[in-house]
Structure 1
Amino acid sequence: MSRHLLILGGGTAGTIMANSLRRRLPAQEWSITVVDRSEKHLYQPGLLFLPFGKYEEGDIIRSTRDFIPQGVEFMQAEVDRIIPEEHAVTIKDGRTLKYDLLIIATGCRTAPEETAGMLGPKWRVNVHDFYTLDGARALREKLKTFPGGRVVVHINEMPIKCPVAPLEFTFLADTFFRERGMRDKVMLTYVTPLSGAFTKPKASKKLSHLLGDKGIELVTEFVAEKVDQENNKLVCFDGREVPYDLLVTTPTNMGDEAVRRSALGDDLDFIATNKHTLQSIEYKDVFVIGDATNLPASKAGSVAHFESETLADNIIRHIAGEPLKEEFDGHSNCFIESGNGKALLIDFNHEYEPHEGGFPFAFGPMRLLEESRLNHWGKLAFRHIYWNVLLRAWPLPGISRQKKKPVES
């Protein structure tokens, strides 16, 4: 009798797992179903470029079904509840799906309603986000006619998807206004709840210098109590205020609402997950990957890719009754657009800080923690790698799931 693997989420992590496990699990023994509410797959890193007119919608949207492999059922539906005690998932249309193994890859969502005043009458008027397709589109229209003034780029709280994206937006905004000949009419401010520009001290120092060099004010340890839309101010719990003419905010990020309805998550609806094996802490037949986890790792596509390699092995081991690999180490790497056609590249994990050196090999060709045009072109090229290699779970030469001890050069 065939057993059933159910994958909740057809985004980056869920699609990679469907491709990887369909090749590894015998079709006569295992059926696989992917459930997602959308038939459109969004290349989320592309949302960074949409407000500046660098990408169009067609560059970052594809059909979800195009990336689901043959032999895997795709179901467009919205999950209502996950019931691990019954090995069941209920769908909002009333159906119930049973499973033998469950992978939760439901990602995370922006929750502007979590901050007082953010969703006021000026939402998408002069208070914008770019972490959603609708938000990036609206911001694109706003920037086309923006006359100048105080532009504040703001992170509400951590964790967020792609922690460097707000920094990248700030650098790209600096370039955007310079190219339009109006940088002198714009005061750029970067507001973060962190003690520096980034979570990792070495990278934070480098990025803070970049902000300063570009004349961008950095406001740290700012935890927003509310958005005062009437007076166009961000208000901190400690009483500080940051005025704005245009606020580009990254709202609180939370797990999928189905996780909350299922009472499976923490206060932000992220699921307790073993940070080395990707197995649910509470349920042995449930595994979690990508942004849905509570792991102390970046919520980024590269992390989902590295997690997927460990998780695919552990699914096979779990089925065979073997001990799971305690292997995933929080490995992440990402390009950071720094403006003017350049980018940095950082590579780190739980243990090791971002460092200098070559990537993906010791000799390069890319350099870590250094601005270069090659890194910028690498960022742009990654879109094609994403569609054609990463989503299909093909190996990326020279890029390991585990972060090796850095060798300075």
Structure 2
Amino acid sequence: MLGGGTAGTMVANRLRHRLDTSDWKITVVDQDDEHHYQPGYLFLPFGGYTRDQLVKSRHTLLHDGIEMVTAEIERVDPGAQTVALVGGRELSYDYLVIATGTTPRPDQTPGMLGSEWRRSIFDFYTLDGASALAEALKTFDRGRLVVHITEMPIKCPVAPLEFTFLAEAWLRERGLRDRVELVYVTPLDGAFTQPVASERLGAMLAERKIHVEPDFMIESIDDERKVLVSYDEREVPFDLLVTIPLNMGADYVARSGLGNELNYVPVDKHTLLSTAYDTIFALGDASDIPASKAGSVAHFAVDVFVDNFLEHIEGRPMTGSFDGHANCFVESGDDKALLIDFNYDTQPLPGKYPLPYVGPLSLLKETRANHLGKLAFRHVYWNVLLPGRPVPLPAHMSMAGKHQPEKEA
């Protein structure tokens, strides 16, 4: 198992109880022993959470009988079925699960890592970045705050919107909103990728007087003038820039010839099996499936993967089919949030979740219950999802309780 993050930890723990320990050895490899609860990064800039609440030791989250190897990965040799580690150690495998996720790469955009990095240019997709941004916000009381997405796909595609809504509410609470111009810069043609959700989220941005700059494909950042420059020569000036850099898979994936141009592993989107090697799977953010790179996707995919894997190692056809199911809370400020639920084929729609017509959570609607659900998820993550305990939610998306929004006359 390459990667001890969300997907890697869930799979290792689930398989530990399904594979005969006399026949199978499970090894998890990661470059460090820190497991981060990444959804918590969103709240750090606004004074929510502490490091101790967001970081735990990886090996303590793995069940007994799973070996944890702390080392950087040099490359995979699929022909020899070996993994070379930095330092010279080599691991052999019968089956390999790649779950090393995706990482922000500010080095890929000219000017992003210039003289203004962590001075007026910040990210919040890392613990260090979110912590530095928290310090910067303490003294930011006027000017132009720009939230910017470099390119899709990114981890948790709704997080930039969430940050924007939270920043707007945070500024209002402090009596600073009239002094700050908020701008949301995106490569998409609207607030989100799916039409119904994009319309709803776009209307929320408009209600809060947040300007949207769509179809913005960044070429560079001029850090001397503090402007974003697009390929079509549009410019967006900023006083404080909160950017989501290009996200890419791990470099060893490229060195091993296993990835696409962004280092994501091409897989069958229903079985997560590599399209090139029948001994390699890729789960979570490390794969190229056309679904959100989010913890919920990893969770639902792992539900399907475990039974499929047991069939695959016995030489039988895999009967499970992952449908791209994702659900994401969208913090909207003022202790409220929306919830969206969708998959490969069905866009987010209004309704109730998880029980049809009952909820208690509402889809595409701002409620306090949704906000409390998002806060409660941290406990579920550490104590239920990662240990591999059953969660009473179906892996496949259901249309029960959902409906198409009514068209205004």
TM bin, normalised by shorter chain, reads over 0.9
Task: Report whether the alignment pairs 1:279 with 2:255.
Answer: no
Which of the residues 208, 216, 223 maps onto 1:214?
Answer: 208
Q: Quote the residue 2:365 is aligned against.
A: 370
Q: Does the CA contact (< 8 Å) of 2:183 and 2:211 recur in 1?
A: yes
Q: Quote the residue 2:396 is aligned against.
A: 402
Q: Distance in 1 between matches of 2:52 and 2:391?
A: 25
Which of the residues 77, 81, 87 maps onto 1:83?
Answer: 77
Q: Distance in 2 between matches of 1:365 and 1:132?
A: 32
Task: Report whether the alignment pairs 1:149 with 2:143.
Answer: yes
What's the CA shift for 1:326?
4.9
Q: Distance in 1 between matches of 2:320 and 2:278?
A: 15
Q: Distance in 2 between matches of 1:73 and 1:145?
A: 46
Q: Does the CA contact (< 8 Å) of 2:353 and 2:401 recur in 1?
A: no
Q: Quote the residue 1:186 is aligned against.
A: 180
Which of the residues 328, 343, 347 maps onto 1:349?
Answer: 343
Q: Quote the residue 1:4 is aligned against.
A: none
Aligned AA (1:153):
V
Aligned AA (2:104):
T
Aligned AA (1:383):
R
What's the CA shift for 1:407?
3.6
What's the CA shift for 1:146?
1.0
Q: Does the CA contact (< 8 Å) of 1:233 and 1:243 recur in 2?
A: yes
Q: Does the CA contact (< 8 Å) of 2:305 and 2:320 recur in 1?
A: no
Structure 2: stretches of 5+ with no match in the other structure: 404-409
Q: Quote the residue 1:389 is aligned against.
A: 384
SS in 2 for 1:139: helix
SS in 1 for 2:329: strand
Q: Distance in 1 between matches of 2:29 and 2:6?
A: 13
Q: Distance in 1 between matches of 2:120 and 2:172?
A: 21
Task: Report whether the alignment pairs 1:327 with 2:321.
Answer: yes
Aligned AA (1:79):
I
Matches of residues 166-185 of structure 1 in structure 2 within 5 Å?
166-185=160-179
Structure 1: stretches of 5+ with no match in the other structure: 1-6
What's the CA shift for 1:370?
0.5
Q: Does the CA contact (< 8 Å) of 2:76 and 2:84 recur in 1?
A: yes
What do residues 222-279 of structure 1 show as CA deviations (whole Å, max 9, x unaligned)? 0001111111101111111111000000000000111122121111111111100000
Q: Does the CA contact (< 8 Å) of 1:355 and 1:406 recur in 2?
A: no
What's the CA shift for 1:181?
1.1
What do residues 330-386 of structure 1 show as CA deviations (whole Å, max 9, x unaligned)? 100010000111000000001111111111111111111100000000000000000
Report the aligned-residue RMSD.
Answer: 0.9
SS in 1 for 2:318: coil
Q: Does the CA contact (< 8 Å) of 1:10 and 1:34 recur in 2?
A: yes
Q: Quote the residue 1:9 is aligned against.
A: 3
Identical pairs, percent: 54
Q: Distance in 2 between matches of 1:307 and 1:366?
A: 22
What do residues 180-213 of structure 1 show as CA deviations (whole Å, max 9, x unaligned)? 1111111000000001101111100000000011
Q: Does the CA contact (< 8 Å) of 1:198 and 1:204 recur in 2?
A: yes
SS in 2 for 1:209: helix
What do residues 38-58 of structure 1 show as CA deviations (whole Å, max 9, x unaligned)? 111000000000111111111
SS in 1 for 2:387: coil
Aligned AA (1:196):
G
Q: Distance in 1 between matches of 2:45 and 2:28?
A: 31
Give the TM-score normalised by the residue count of structure 2.
0.97
SS in 1 for 2:300: helix
Aligned AA (1:277):
T
Q: Does the CA contact (< 8 Å) of 1:276 and 1:325 recur in 2?
A: no
What do residues 7-65 of structure 1 show as CA deviations (whole Å, max 9, x unaligned)? 00000000000110001001011010000111110000000001111111111111111
Which of the residues 76, 89, 92 maps onto 2:86?
Answer: 92
Give the TM-score normalised by the residue count of structure 1.
0.97
Q: Does the CA contact (< 8 Å) of 1:200 and 1:354 recur in 2?
A: yes
Q: Does the CA contact (< 8 Å) of 2:120 and 2:240 recur in 1?
A: yes
Aligned AA (1:255):
G
Q: Quote the residue 2:407 is aligned against.
A: none
Q: Distance in 1 between matches of 2:402 and 2:245?
A: 37
Q: Does the CA contact (< 8 Å) of 1:194 and 1:221 recur in 2?
A: yes
Q: Does the CA contact (< 8 Å) of 1:154 and 1:249 recur in 2?
A: yes
Task: Report whether the alignment pairs 1:164 with 2:148.
Answer: no
SS in 1 for 2:362: strand
SS in 1 for 2:25: strand
Runs of 4+, deviation exceeding 2 Å: 405-409
Task: Report whether the alignment pairs 1:204 with 2:198.
Answer: yes
Aligned AA (1:109):
T
